[in-house]
Structure 1
Amino acid sequence: MKHTASFLVPLSAVILLSLLMAFGCNRTIDSTDPVRTLPDAPSTPINVSATLDTQSVTLSWEVPDTAVVKRFRIYLTDSSGANARLRDSTMGVSFSQTLTGLALNQTVYFRVATVGREGIEGLRSTPPLRVRVAPMSILIENGNIYTNRRNVTIQVNAPSGAADIKLSENEDLAGAVFQPFSSQMSFTLSDGDGVKLVFAQLVFDDGTQTGVPLVDGITLDTRARIDTVYFRPPSTIFTSGSAIDFRLRSGETGGTARISFPGENGVALYDDGSGIDSTANDGVYAARYIVPLAMTVKDGQVTGLFTDAAGNQAPARTAYSLLNIEPVNQPPTAVVLAGNSDSTGAHLTWSQNGDSDFAMYRLYRSTDTTRAVDTTSQLVAILNTQSTTSYDDAVLRSYPALAYRIYVFDQLGRATPSNKVVVIR
């Protein structure tokens, strides 16, 4: 006799399956065993909120009953909550998730659903959470490196909808209170010079807020100083054309420095590694000064002046040594003149003058070769280039002979004559 196996199905299960087939269900069931009782759907997430950063958003939520939670799923939807697309899911029972890769300056909506231990997904949170990821930042004093005032202005770059802000020098913003948002906020830095960091947290009109605090830094510098002012070589009587090396040591970089003494109101010094400044940005400012003509300084006081990068002016400081400069009393050095002739005229040459205060050559001639040639004689040429050492004079073709002399002039107007030369045609 052939036996046929049979199973008894409870009537309640048959009715439940019939209803499911007739009306459908938005829950997922991992098991297909119709005998088992359908588990209850897990709790729907509530109090869904977001914290914003410049390139990410962290969603947080709660559930009334955590006992059956396996994980959570996060959906992108439209503003009505429809057209849901799975965006992410937690690895386990975590009540927050950070999402990256979101498009900037675009509004998106999120809903969160609980997945129970039986694999059933519950209802998604409502209403959809509106989030807009946008660049955010703060700048102290428009991004300046230094300030000499404790009261500063903070520029806040935030998307529309920012409602409140709190500022603090504490990274956890402990003790700070929210105040109405403005893109220009006033803030008082703590006392004492040094680097100051300011942190900010924003709250938006939809309840979202920033996560990691926005931050910017600035150096508070309320005073400047000059350590020492000096020149080299010391204890020297300088003359016209002498080189004097001035230095000012402040210990601060990025400032402007100068020295003054009788006859000079502002010789700029530099800390850029150029000239006699051997090391850039070491707080020592230096420059080489060439003494001009006719300068006289008797026991002059050399004063250093300094303004730091924050705009603070240091008290003036004087050099320990006194400055003495005497003008050069020697007249210009004479040159040696020579001449010859050919069919084109006279050809004159002379040795080059090497004085540092050279001004010009002046060439004179006379048709009377028996008399002296001086500055009252006929002026032939004015030559301003020190390296010029020759001149051709075609006038000789009209005379049997001409007498010449060249004078060297310095910048004080003093002149020294050369020897007299007679050139025969």
Structure 2
Amino acid sequence: MAGLRLFSLTGFRMEYGVMKQIFLMLLLMILAGGCERSLDSGNVGFEAPDEIPVPTALKIYHLADGIELKWQISDSDIVAHFNIYYSDQEDSEFVYWDSAHGFTKTITTLNTGQTYYFRVAAVDTNDVEGAGSTTISSQIGVTSIVINNNDVFTNSTDVSVSYVYPVTPLLVKITENSDLSDAVWQNFRQPGIFELSDGDGVKYLYALLRFNDGSESSVSVSDSIILDTRASIDSTYFVADSSVLLAGDTVYFYIDAGEPKGEGYVFFTGLSQLTLYDDGNDGDAVADDGIYSRRYVVPINLEIDEGVVTGRFTDAAGNSADDTPSASRINIAIPPEPISLQTIAESSSQIRLSWSAVEPGSFDFSSYRIYRETSPGVTESSELIANITSRTTLGYTDSDLNDNQLYVYRVYAYSADGLITQSEESSATTIVNTPPSAVTLAVGLIDELTISISWTENIDDDFESYQIYRGNTADVTDLTGQRFTAINDQQQTSFTDVRFDALDTYYYVIYVYDRQGLKSSKSNVESTP
């Protein structure tokens, strides 16, 4: 019988069942007079061995890292231990796995996604193994539950529960109690619905699964979610250096909601919605403290007289607080007339800016600030490219630009108290870049192993580097050869290479790159003599 151990008896190997039959046949022959000698007494002096019981109720319980086998036995008095056998195919021979002295065995190191078949046989105190149990099987895999698709928060007591399982479940127990004492088996549904207990806070769910192959999950699987059913704003307020703000002034807006991970806003006349943050950035002092804030620079052409600043908040669970106005009012005044700005493209990488000076007045001039975009709509939130502190400096060259690219600029003039005025937008498109000029290459020998490489100098204004490639064939290019050096000094026109064998022939080619990444056509190809 496959999967059962054999034992030795007078030189023969036989199963326990066969040995027992032979023993009974001999006993019957003796009792029936099957030999010439007779027994003086009906007492033969020995008894037939007890039949070894077969394990029953074999069951698989799924663990986090394997399975647990459990079984029962009708008479354990003569059983010394149990042998466990397995197979990874239904019709294959069973292989001995391990033994157990109790009625359970934990098995790990199984392959996820693989179906395994198991039998258990009892072994008596004479080390004789009985018949194997009924075969059971199950697929190995992870068992888990997920509440609301892994959401952190929910504002409803009704949540969906999705299950991950190795075998199709039939029944499930699910509850908020970790010992599952109040749970009953119910028909499995994917996904399921569970009603959480009342009261905001962290809610845990625990579940056991019973599968259609007769196996179960041995320990409960769990997941958690935060129940949050309400939101509120304690206060809305703002902080500024002046009671009347001008364009360019900085103001900090706040709402105190008392809980992190939500979405906070303020709005007032001229601003429909300003997002506030609780992540330690954009003017927020402390991340995740439940106070949402934002540093805001007043833009041009915004005028507000006694404006009401109102806070709005939605928490991470989706609850909306009542809109809450600030106790103080905001005032923003229009700054003076703008200055004049002109832009001219000088090359493929430079644009020259010039502007009219702001006239001295009752203000204390602080700086011109130049902001840039690659499309119309330049504001003080755009890229700041220059901060010029001299009032009489009326020009600036913007360098390291991309070729054939539109750039849009605006100049702002500031006093010590804030924005004075600003320019209109002005734009220019950089000139189309052309590839660098190629150079002429020469190769010679200093000695048998030292190779001299030289080339004519490139004199382009936007030179970036010479890049030399080496190959073993005359058709060497930057694609087929190996780049072995890049030289950033425009005036350097020679380099030395070495070879390991005087019979080696190397072919060289050189390319010139500019600062915008364009390369020249390849030079002439030269080889070692």
Is the TM-score greater than 0.5?
yes
- Count of residue pairs the alignment pairs up: 333
Match for residue 175 of structure 2? Answer: 168
2:317 to 304, 310, 320: 310
Alignment of 1:108-127 (within 5 A): 108-125=116-133, 127=134
| Alpha-carbon distance between aligned partners in 2 of 1:60 and 1:153, rounded to the nearest angstrom | 33
Match for residue 73 of structure 1? Answer: 83
User: 3-state DSSP class of the match of 1:67?
Assistant: coil
User: 3-state DSSP class of the match of 2:273?
Assistant: strand
- Unmatched segments (≥5 aa) in structure 1: 1-17, 30-34, 335-347, 360-384, 392-407, 414-425
| Alpha-carbon distance between aligned partners in 1 of 2:88 and 2:421, rounded to the nearest angstrom | 89
1:58 and 2:68 correspond: yes
Match for residue 421 of structure 1? Answer: none
| Alpha-carbon distance between aligned partners in 1 of 2:9 and 2:135, rounded to the nearest angstrom | 30
Match for residue 230 of structure 2? Answer: 223
Normalised TM-score (structure 2): 0.56
| Alpha-carbon distance between aligned partners in 1 of 2:215 and 2:82, rounded to the nearest angstrom | 20
Deviation digits for residues 112-170 of structure 1, max 9, x if unmatched?
Answer: 11222332222221x21112212222111111111111111111122343212222111
Match for residue 389 of structure 1? Answer: 394
1:25 and 2:15 correspond: yes
Q: Which moved more, 1:215-224 or 1:47-56?
A: 47-56
CA 1:410–1:313: 2 relative to 1, 3 Å: same
* Pairwise CA distance, 1:355: 7.7
User: 3-state DSSP class of the match of 1:192?
Assistant: coil
1:298 to 283, 299, 305: 305
Larger Rg: 1
Q: Tell me the amino acid that sits aligned with residue 236 of structure 1.
A: S
Match for residue 279 of structure 1? Answer: 286
| Alpha-carbon distance between aligned partners in 1 of 2:250 and 2:88, rounded to the nearest angstrom | 79
Alignment of 1:107-186 (within 5 A): 107-125=115-133, 127-186=134-193
| Alpha-carbon distance between aligned partners in 1 of 2:187 and 2:355, rounded to the nearest angstrom | 87
* Pairwise CA distance, 1:274: 1.4
- Unmatched segments (≥5 aa) in structure 2: 1-7, 20-44, 341-353, 360-364, 371-387, 397-412, 414-419, 425-529
Match for residue 195 of structure 2? Answer: 188
The answer to whether the 8 Å contact 2:305/2:332 transfers is yes
Q: Tell me the amino acid that sits aligned with residue 105 of structure 1.
A: G
Normalised TM-score (structure 1): 0.68
| Alpha-carbon distance between aligned partners in 2 of 1:350 and 1:228, rounded to the nearest angstrom | 45
| Alpha-carbon distance between aligned partners in 2 of 1:390 and 1:196, rounded to the nearest angstrom | 64
Identical-residue share of aligned pairs (%)? 35
Alpha carbon RMSD of aligned pairs, Å? Answer: 3.7
1:101 and 2:106 correspond: no
Highest RCO, 1 vs 2 (Cα 8 Å, sep ≥ 6): 1
* Pairwise CA distance, 1:292: 2.9
* Pairwise CA distance, 1:357: 9.9
User: 3-state DSSP class of the match of 1:75?
Assistant: strand
| Alpha-carbon distance between aligned partners in 2 of 1:97 and 1:204, rounded to the nearest angstrom | 20
Match for residue 204 of structure 2? Answer: 197
| Alpha-carbon distance between aligned partners in 2 of 1:351 and 1:205, rounded to the nearest angstrom | 84
The answer to whether the 8 Å contact 2:259/2:289 transfers is yes
| Alpha-carbon distance between aligned partners in 2 of 1:23 and 1:101, rounded to the nearest angstrom | 33
